[in-house]
Each structure stands twice: as structure tokens, then as C-alpha cells.
Amino acid sequence: MSSPSNQNPLLHHGATLFIDGAFTPAASGETRTINCPANGEAVATVSEAGEADSIKAIEAARRSFDSGIWSSVPAAQRGDFLLKAAEQLVARKAEFALAETLDTGKRLVESELDMDDIISCFRYFGKLAGQEAGRVVDANDPNVISRIDYEPVGVAAMITPWNYPLLQAAWKIAPALAAGCSFVLKPAELTPSTAILMMEVLKDLGLPAGVANLVTGAGAQAGAVLSEHKDVDLVSFTGGLVTGRKVAAAAAGTVKKVALELGGKNPNVVFADADFDAALDNALNGAFVHSGQVCSAGARLVIHESIAEKFVDELVRRAQQITLGGPFDQKAETGALISAAHLEKVDAYVQAGIAEGARVRCGGRRATEQDGAGLGSGHFYLPTVIDQVTGSMSVAQDEAFGPTITVETFSTEDQAVAIANDTIYGLAGAVWSQDAGKAARVAKRLRHGTIWINDYHPYLPQAEWGGFGQSGVGRELGPTGLGEYQEAKHVYQNLNPQVTGWFAQKQS
Ligand SMILES: NC(=O)c1ccc[n+]([C@@H]2O[C@H](COP(=O)([O-])OP(=O)(O)OC[C@H]3O[C@@H](n4cnc5c(N)ncnc54)[C@H](O)[C@@H]3O)[C@@H](O)[C@H]2O)c1
Ligand SMILES: C[N+](C)(C)CC=O
């Protein structure tokens, strides 16, 4: 019988590395089975790359870049290529969304929305390519033409996480190709399927061999060399803080450019004059969409003491009503965690909070069959609200990356800002108030890369994304996101060369 899982074209694939324009197995011949987090079913078999495969991919990318086969294509034509890629993604949206859902366990409707964002990203960079023609600089000399050219940085290594697999890769692939770079992509080992399909799209559209390369494999084996290798000019990493530090340290040996998109501990600040219903609904969305496996999840509620009791009681009531389920369950509102190991990490985070004196108001454990049919066979964790939290507790400081929200209260605007900024991270946050002046004032004081006012979660391809503090280095999306894949070159041309006379001519 045909189930959504066995419709995956990658179920028995096996040759999924894409190197120098061809799909190939790993040198070792090893493969990995991908299991759906919602029920453990095998959904794909992929090649398991090791260091030797990654080196081959880097060498292919280097050759293609140095040949100029893509970097010398006019930027506007590179943009047209991205627009065609967007159209291919539109045509194959259902297939991609299914593959993403089977790998991640997220609801199909969420994967479809991710596909819309991916398509928008390709369209945005497709249109942006070629618009930035460098700039002329006034050298204060009529005999001098001085200009700044933007050139591709070279070979880009891209390392991406499992929570939004193709979206996070698209935020790198689209600007890299727009800029004229060649690249090696290493997706998270748990969720490689859509990256493989993406290589099919690029190949079918005629991207020259070696410009796009893919290694599917584990971080330590296939990923580490991407940060270290001398032939990589830029490593762009999205993932956890601990790995990000390793990537930055490994990249230092060859002083390559480093872009880091790391985790967050994102405050959702609710003032007493907020629209109560909208703030409450968005607090749920902020914390529990994709079971909190979102870098910008609003996992830290910072709420005015005068409304805290009513707001949190209602938050608990609503969190308890959230329906968990598999990707194709029409009633499900959110899904499974990515793996058993990740579920254990989320639970350990909650238990540490309890040990430090915080109180679990709901959830705080994995879901069982008693909580819903089928939940016992997947990695499901109940939506969890934790109050009686103080800023020094680990639950207030550590990223849970699961369906949890902590509650801290404030009485003054200064206190709200201090709590919201009391983190090593600085990725995103929100302010809820019907006083536009106050909301803008507080937004200005928050040290986070994205601030939503009276909203939570939207992001736009034309708006820069990235973190303050230890949430990262650099920005994705927007014109700055293209700039990450470019070098600025100053060309100073003297139209009337003269003897300078700096060193006197002497008789020898
Ligand atoms: N800032 C953002 O935009 C953003 C977006 C999505 C996810 N994230 C963050 O990602 C994290 C969750 O993702 P994760 O669990 O996949 O992160 P992770 O750091 O465990 O893994 C990310 C990637 O790094 C690879 N990797 C692991 N060790 C490596 C090494 N030594 N060298 C090179 N690569 C290595 C992994 O295989 C994977 O591809 C969370 O912290 C989340 O906040 C951030
Ligand atoms: C960047 N974003 C919000 C798409 C996914 C973060 O995990």
C-alpha cells in the first residue's frame, strides 16, 4: 500500500552526494537511513559522506570558481537563473514539501509554507543580482577614476541545521549564486532530502559542474573540514552556539570569512496595555510553533506584573489544548521533536528548571498514547509553561529549542528592558503595547537582531536576519545577505601617470 512516507523519491536512493555536477555515492560506500520523527518510519536512504568526500567537493568548487565559469556570467543573468530555479520550486512544491515533512516530522502545511518562503528567497536574490553595480568614489583628482567593485568571495562552505532544512540552505544558496560564488553545502545529517532535490533542480537548469556541491553526512566527519580547508574562502554556518564556536575556531587557522547564525533566548515583552487576546495568541505561536524548534522562538515571556496572573492562567489553559500529531494529521497543531536525543535534552532543560525552584504549570514530560493516539511512537513533548522563574536560572538563560515558555515579571519599563537584554544571545524578541511611542522606545533599547512590535515570527527576504551578541556574526537576507558572499575591491586608475619624484634619481 502507498503511504505518504513511501512516496518519497529518496526512499531507496543511495547516491546522494552531488560533486562536480554528478550524483555519487560516498567514497566509503556508507549510507544512512533517515527516519521520520513522528513515527520512526524509514523515509530515505542517503550516502554518508566523510572527510574525503568533502575534500573532493571543495576541490570541485575551487576548480569551477577559478575557471570563472559562473563568476564571469553577468550578474543579471545569474539573477535570471535564480528566477528559473524559483519557478522549478513552484512546479515541484508538493514533492519538496513532502520530503521536508518526512525528514523533520513537521506538519505538511508548515513545509508548504516553508516552500513559499524558499521560493520568495530565490525570487528576491534573483531580482537583486545585477542591481548593485559597485560605486564610483570621488578621488578629488580629475585624472583619477576610483571605484568599488563587488566581486564573489570565492568558494563558500554552507553548514545548515535540521529545523528548517531547505529554508536555511536557501538563505545561503540564493545569495551565493547571485554573487557568483561556487559552494559546498552540508545539510544536517538528519534532514538531507530537500537539499538533494535542490541539487536536481540546479543540475536540470544547467548550472555548470562544480558550482553547486552537496555532501550529506555528519558534522564531525563531513562538516569539520569545510571550516578548516584552505580552499574555502567563506564558511556560512547556521546551527547551535557550541558548534558555531567550533566552526569559528577551525576557520581561524586560514583566516577565512565566517558568518554565524546561532541560537537565541528570545524575550517576548508584554506590557499591561497590550491587546490581551492578540498578545496571548502570539505568545502561544511564538513558543509552540514547530514545537519550539525555532531559533527565534519566543521562549521567554517577560510580562507586566499587573496582568501576569490572568495572562499566564490563560496561557496554561490554551497550551494544554494544543493538539499534537503527525505530519498528515489534519487536526494536529504542532508535531514531534526531531529525535529521541533532542527530546531528552529538552526534558533535561525542564528538569534543571524544577531543580532550581521553577514551577511547571503544564506539560513537562514526553507525550504518551494516553495523550493521543500515535503519540507514544514519536518524539512528542507536551507544551510546557514554566513560571516562578528568575533571571539567573538556567531555564531563563539556556536555549531549550523545544515547546517550552518561561515566565518572568516586571514592574517598570527599565526592568522589562533589563530582563530582555539579560542573555548572552541576541537573536530576536517582541514588544506588545498599544502605546506606539513606548513600544518603539523599548524596541530601540533591545539588543536583538529582529524586534517585532505587536507581532511574532514574520521574516522577509528583503529584511536582514541575524544576531547580536552570541547569536552570531553577520546577516542573512536583504542586501547585507548578498554582501556576505562578496568582497569589495577598490580599483584606483590614474589616467595621467606622472613621475612622483619621491626618490631622487641619482647617478650610479
Ligand atoms: N540564527 C538562525 O537563523 C538559526 C536558524 C535555525 C537554527 N538555528 C539554531 O540551530 C540550532 C539547532 O540546530 P542543530 O541542532 O542542527 O545545530 P548543530 O549545531 O548541532 O548542527 C548544525 C550543523 O552543524 C553540523 N556540525 C556539527 N558539528 C560540526 C563541526 N564540528 N564542524 C562543522 N559542522 C558541524 C551539523 O551536522 C549540522 O549540519 C539551534 O541552536 C537554533 O537556534 C539558528
Ligand atoms: C530563521 N527561521 C526563523 C526561519 C528559522 C529559525 O530557526
CA angle 343, 280, 415 (to 5 degrees): 90
Instruction: Please check whether residue 464 is in contact with residue 480, taking contact to mean a CB–CB distance below 8 angstroms.
Output: yes
Output the CA 457–ligand 2 centroid distance in Å.
9
Name the closest ligand to CA 221: 1
Question: Which residue, among 450, 399, 183, 146, has the nearest Cα to 292 in the 3D structure?
Answer: 399
Question: Which residue, among 212, 195, 256, has the nearest Cα to 484 in the 3D structure?
Answer: 256
Distance from C-alpha of 23 to C-alpha of 16, rounded to nearest angstrom? 6
Atom of ligand 2 nearest to the CA of 294: 7
How far does CA 198 lie from the centroid of its chain? 17
Name the closest ligand to CA 475: 1
Q: Whats the size of the chain, residue-wise?
A: 508
Ligand 2 atom 1, closest CA: 295
| Ligand 2 near 167 CB (within 6 A) | yes
Buried b (16+ CB within 10 A) or exposed e, 187-216: bbbbbbbbbbbbbebbeeeebebbbbbbbb
Residue where the block lists cell 612622483: 500
Distance from C-alpha of 399 to C-alpha of 414, rounded to nearest angstrom? 24
> What DSSP letter does each residue of 439-495 carry, written as one string?
HHHHHHH--SSEEEES--S---TTS-B--SGGGEES-BSHHHHHHTTEEEEEEEEES
Distance from C-alpha of 414 to C-alpha of 171, rounded to nearest angstrom? 36
pLDDT at position 423, please?
A: 98
Atom of ligand 2 nearest to the CA of 457: 3
Please count the CA atoms within 13 angstroms of the CA of 104 that sit on its side-chain side. Answer: 32
| Ligand 2 near 262 CB (within 6 A) | no
Residue where the block lists cell 550578474: 75
pLDDT at position 508, please?
A: 81
Phi-psi region of 485 (alpha: psi -120 to 50; beta: other; left: phi over 0): alpha
Atom of ligand 1 nearest to the CA of 296: 43
pLDDT at position 303, please?
A: 98
> Would you name the residues annotated as active-site residues?
261
Radius of gyration of the chain, Cα coordinates, nearest whole angstrom: 25
* C-alpha to C-alpha distances, 335 to 18, 107, 314, 363, nearest whole angstrom: 31, 6, 22, 15
Output the CA 65–ligand 1 centroid distance in Å.
26
Atom of ligand 1 nearest to the CA of 399: 41
Atom of ligand 2 nearest to the CA of 428: 3
Output the CA 411–ligand 1 centroid distance in Å.
37
Between β-strands 155-159 and 182-186, what pairing exists: parallel, antiparallel or unpaired? parallel
Distance from C-alpha of 377 to C-alpha of 366, rounded to nearest angstrom? 11
How far does CA 174 lie from the centroid of its chain? 13
* C-alpha to C-alpha distances, 32 to 42, 191, 266, 373, 443, nearest whole angstrom: 10, 11, 34, 29, 45
The crossing angle, in degrees rounded to 10, of helices 193-204 and 93-104 is 160
Task: Name every protein residue with a CB atom under 6 angstroms from any ligand 1 atom.
Answer: 159-164, 168, 186, 188-189, 218-220, 223-224, 227, 238-240, 243, 246-247, 261-264, 295, 399, 401, 427, 467, 472
Ligand 1 atom 32, closest CA: 224
Task: Cite the DSSP H helix spans in 143-271.
Answer: 165-179, 193-204, 224-228, 241-252
Distance from C-alpha of 381 to C-alpha of 353, rounded to nearest angstrom? 16
At position 35, the amino acid (one-letter code) is: N
* C-alpha to C-alpha distances, 112 to 102, 104, 164, 259, nearest whole angstrom: 12, 13, 12, 28
The H or E element that residue 150 is part of is strand 144-152
Contacts by residues 496-505 (CB-CB < 8 Å, ≥ 24 positions apart): 496/143
Between β-strands 384-387 and 359-362, what pairing exists: parallel, antiparallel or unpaired? antiparallel
- Which residues, at least 6 apart from 130, have a Cβ–Cβ distance to it below 8 Å? 74, 75, 76, 77, 78, 79
3-class state of residue 31 by DSSP: strand
Distance from C-alpha of 13 to C-alpha of 42, rounded to nearest angstrom? 12
Distance from C-alpha of 142 to C-alpha of 19, rounded to nearest angstrom? 49
241, 243, 450: residue to mutate for ligand 1 pocket, most atoms within 8 A of CB = 243
C-alpha cell read off for 123: 525570487
| Ligand 2 near 296 CB (within 6 A) | yes
CA angle 132, 237, 394 (to 5 degrees): 130
Name the closest ligand to CA 222: 1
How confident is the prediction along the chain (508 residues), in pLDDT tens digits per residue?
346 666 676 666 679 999 999 999 999 999 999 999 999 999 999 999 999 999 999 999 999 999 999 999 999 999 999 999 999 999 999 999 999 999 999 999 999 999 999 999 999 999 999 887 789 999 999 999 999 999 999 999 999 999 999 999 999 999 999 999 999 999 999 999 999 999 999 999 999 999 999 999 999 999 999 999 999 999 999 999 999 999 999 999 999 999 999 999 999 999 999 999 999 999 999 999 999 999 999 999 999 999 999 999 999 999 999 999 999 999 999 999 999 999 999 999 999 999 999 999 999 999 999 999 999 999 999 999 999 999 999 999 999 999 999 999 999 999 999 999 999 999 999 999 999 999 999 999 999 999 999 999 999 999 999 999 999 999 999 999 999 999 999 999 999 999 999 999 898 8
- Which residues, at least 6 apart from 337, have a Cβ–Cβ distance to it below 8 Å? 37, 105, 291, 293, 343, 346, 379, 380, 381, 402
